[in-house]
Structure 1
Amino acid sequence: MEKLMQPQVSPFILGVDVSKDSLDVCLTRRGEVPLHHQKFNNNSEGFQRMKAWMKQQGCEAGPDTLCCMEHTGMYTRQLVHYLLARQVHVWLESALQIKRSIGMVRGKDDKVDAQRIARYALLHQQEAQCLSLSGVTLERLKDLQASRSRLIKALKSIKGTIKELLQIDPVSGKTLEQVNRKAIRGLEKSKELVEEKMQQFIAKDGELKRKYDLLTSVKGVGKVLAISLLVYTQGFSKMEDGRKLACYCGVAPFEYRSGTSVMGRTGVSKFANKELKQVLHMAALSSIRNNGEMRSYFERKVGEGKSKMSVLNAVRNKLLHQAVAVIKRGTPYEVRLNII
């Protein structure tokens, strides 16, 4: 469900506030003021009742409907699949984007939230980026990626505690290391199995495998970063521009100045996908160590007086732009003799 497309103007707008157990639904017709609200369970029975209620309002819950909802992870998944099966245009929008478009608000109410989402979709439907049921592999990869992250955190927590205790109290540290040995091996084995399963899913999807091979042809882009980029860009159907991707990763530099009194340093924004930024950061460090092209660039810029962090950020940007370039071009990365 990852391929994005631009919908035509829909006569019916559906705003949905999704929670774990319930859906607050607000339906309106384009050009009309009334907003019809109803609450349903977030399950298959609730979806059927929602469809019947929409039909009473004159809406067939099909291609004539644009449904907008905030992206709340797993809680939206069943509803999204149901709506896509009925050919409803589904628009998953950032909660922050909707909130900031409304302005200052006080309090929180699910019914009011559904109305706000419906009004947002009504005003901005020309900008809607809708999903289609074409990338189930990416959805599975995202689940496996989340599982891998949890396993890594668990391993770091256990190993970190043991390492600290060995320095302070070697006897207790060795005891802790002994009793956790099987747990560590089990977590490491699970991590390996997750990574193998991710590779299997990629191998079964021809288009995804092609893009994965293109990404990994870039020196410095390994398996983890390649999969992360595919997942978070939805197979590069959501972000095909290097600058936008850099902004999403939190590595695009922005100026901070106003008039003659405010002259802050250029820096990156805190609004970013921090998990992807971390993976990209590790890839940049690896690239500087192992890629002669990037190492030469890093050393030259540092020698010119640039700070190491600013040059490292430039390396992160270069990796992203190279990744986008090979996807757009459709051919593997070619090593250049000189890098500016």
Structure 2
Amino acid sequence: MKKLSSTPLYAFFVGIDVSKESLDVCLIRVADKQLCYQKFNNNMQGFQKMKLWLKQYGCELESDTLVCLEHTGLYTRKVVHYLLSRQVAVWLESPLQIKRSIGLARGKDDKIDSERIAKYAFLHQDKASLVNLSSLTIEKLKDLQANRNRLLKALKSIKTTVKELISIDAASGKTLQRVNKDAIRGLEKSLEQVEQKMSEFIEQDAELKKKYELVTSIKGVGKVLAITLLVYTQGFTKMEDGRKLACYCGVAPFEYRSGTSVFGKTGVSKFANKELKRILYLVSMSSIQYNQELKTYFKRKVDEGKPKMSVLNAVQNKLLHQIVAVVKRGTPYVEKLDKI
């Protein structure tokens, strides 16, 4: 048992280190500043045993408890859903953030990790970003989005193969086209069903529906970019600043200079979300045709002699700032007809 001290917002803090088969759980009971540890299976039976174990220390797994877990993907889902069903405050934090917060640390095992997670929650409780019901919808959208990408990849692979073969050997290409006709139809139908299901999930979540409608009110911005941004920004609860979002998408310009001798070109960073950057590029091509504000900006800058790709990158940057602005403001986009 170890002692801790702080001014708590919760009566109990629980750190859980999650693996595929098990949960390593560390409890901090604020009343006597003590730590307790136990291991459970990562299934419903394990959750019930964890609840009974915590009850021995006065923790009923209710609203007076903050549970912190590392965001490790699929393995956290079942326990997070269980905790949310009990109205528990759940905090999913980046493993890197927790690791950096403890500084230089020696030794590692599941028990130590659960203790470090519990301490992190205790010491940084005022910064906790809690999971809500919209987060569960975003989780479903993320699954569907990943499935959509796989379907698109398979569809593109088949169509490209057929097209290339037709250009070289028309007879063999036509045969391959006939053979894959049903497969292509099936993939296209599955793609439609996935997109329909995504729309249904958004329709059922009032908060996400409102944000989705705000984002798509901008001319040129469609379903794909809107949903992708909702997924990666957790419904715009993360990266609320336009500059940060532009940086994440790889379209924010950075200077490259040092002292009096190094003067490189201003450019974008290669560290970016490649999927978002690709979608954003396609949307920007549409926007300079249908978004009058961005169309005017693009034409003016190109007429001034700026490189088209550089101006297109600036258009993507402005698009993201427009998106963030309408979400923050809570009102649909209003097109500006004057020059920008």
The TM-score, its normalising length taken from structure 1, stands at: 0.85
Which residue identity lines up with residue 144 of structure 1 in the other structure?
Answer: L
Aligned residue for 1:252?
Answer: 252
Aligned residue for 2:68?
Answer: 68
Of 204-213 and 27-36, deviating more is: 27-36
Q: Partners of 2:23 and 2:261 in 1: how far apart?
A: 49
Deviation at 1:169, TM superposition (A): 4.3
Deviation at 1:170, TM superposition (A): 4.0
Counterpart secondary structure, 1:131: coil
1:332 aligns with 2:332: yes
Mapping of residues 229-268 of structure 1, within 5 Å = 229-260=229-260, 262-268=262-268
Deviation at 1:9, TM superposition (A): 2.2
Deviation at 1:233, TM superposition (A): 2.8
Structure 1 residues 205 and 89: alpha-carbon distance in aligned structure 2, compared to 1, 3 A threshold? closer
Deviation at 1:197, TM superposition (A): 2.3
Structure 1 residues 101 and 265: alpha-carbon distance in aligned structure 2, compared to 1, 3 A threshold? farther
Aligned residue for 1:126?
Answer: 126
Aligned residue for 2:5?
Answer: none
Say whether the 8 Å CA contact 2:292–2:337 is kept in structure 1: no
Counterpart secondary structure, 1:23: strand
Gap regions ≥5 residues in structure 1: 1-7
Of 185-194 and 52-61, deviating more is: 52-61
Structure 1 residues 271 and 103: alpha-carbon distance in aligned structure 2, compared to 1, 3 A threshold? farther
Counterpart secondary structure, 2:143: helix
Q: Partners of 2:59 and 2:281 in 1: how far apart?
A: 48
Deviation at 1:336, TM superposition (A): 0.9
Question: 1:53-74, CA deviations, whole angstroms, 9 ceiling, x for partnerless residues?
Answer: 2233443322232221122233
> RCO greater where, 1 or 2, for CA within 8 Å and sep 6 or more?
1
Aligned residue for 1:5?
Answer: none
- Report percent identity of matched pairs: 69
Aligned residue for 1:318?
Answer: 318
Question: CA RMSD, aligned part only?
Answer: 2.9
Q: Partners of 2:98 and 2:197 in 1: how far apart?
A: 36
1:277 aligns with 2:300: no
Of 142-151 and 163-172, deviating more is: 163-172
Q: Partners of 2:248 and 2:280 in 1: how far apart?
A: 12
Aligned residue for 1:25?
Answer: 25
Which residue identity lines up with residue 159 of structure 1 in the other structure?
Answer: K
Structure 1 residues 164 and 277: alpha-carbon distance in aligned structure 2, compared to 1, 3 A threshold? same
Say whether the 8 Å CA contact 2:134–2:207 is kept in structure 1: no
1:300 aligns with 2:311: no
Q: Partners of 2:127 and 2:270 in 1: how far apart?
A: 25
Counterpart secondary structure, 1:338: coil
Aligned residue for 1:149?
Answer: 149
Deviation at 1:107, TM superposition (A): 7.8
Deviation at 1:39, TM superposition (A): 2.2
Q: Partners of 2:259 and 2:106 in 1: how far apart?
A: 33
Say whether the 8 Å CA contact 2:280–2:316 is kept in structure 1: yes
Of 18-27 and 235-244, deviating more is: 235-244
Counterpart secondary structure, 2:124: helix
Q: Partners of 2:170 and 2:100 in 1: how far apart?
A: 53
Say whether the 8 Å CA contact 2:292–2:335 is kept in structure 1: no
Q: Partners of 2:289 and 2:118 in 1: how far apart?
A: 50
Deviation at 1:319, TM superposition (A): 1.2
Counterpart secondary structure, 2:131: strand
Which structure is larger by alpha-carbon Rg, 1 or 2? 2
Q: Partners of 2:261 and 2:119 in 1: how far apart?
A: 40
Say whether the 8 Å CA contact 2:248–2:272 is kept in structure 1: yes
Structure 1 residues 317 and 64: alpha-carbon distance in aligned structure 2, compared to 1, 3 A threshold? same
Which residue identity lines up with residue 208 of structure 2 in the other structure?
Answer: L
Q: Partners of 1:156 and 1:200 in 2: how far apart?
A: 26
Say whether the 8 Å CA contact 1:220–1:319 is kept in structure 2: no
Counterpart secondary structure, 1:151: helix
Q: Partners of 1:159 and 1:96 in 2: how far apart?
A: 41
Aligned residue for 2:54?
Answer: 54
Deviation at 1:44, TM superposition (A): 0.8
Question: 1:164-199, CA deviations, whole angstroms, 9 ceiling, x for partnerless residues?
Answer: 333444444333322211111100011111212222
Structure 1 residues 104 and 280: alpha-carbon distance in aligned structure 2, compared to 1, 3 A threshold? farther
Aligned residue for 1:81?
Answer: 81
Q: Partners of 1:252 and 1:128 in 2: how far apart?
A: 28
Say whether the 8 Å CA contact 1:30–1:122 is kept in structure 2: no
Say whether the 8 Å CA contact 1:254–1:269 is kept in structure 2: yes
Of 169-178 and 28-37, deviating more is: 28-37
Question: 1:267-297, CA deviations, whole angstroms, 9 ceiling, x for partnerless residues?
Answer: 4344443333332222112212443432332
1:216 aligns with 2:216: yes
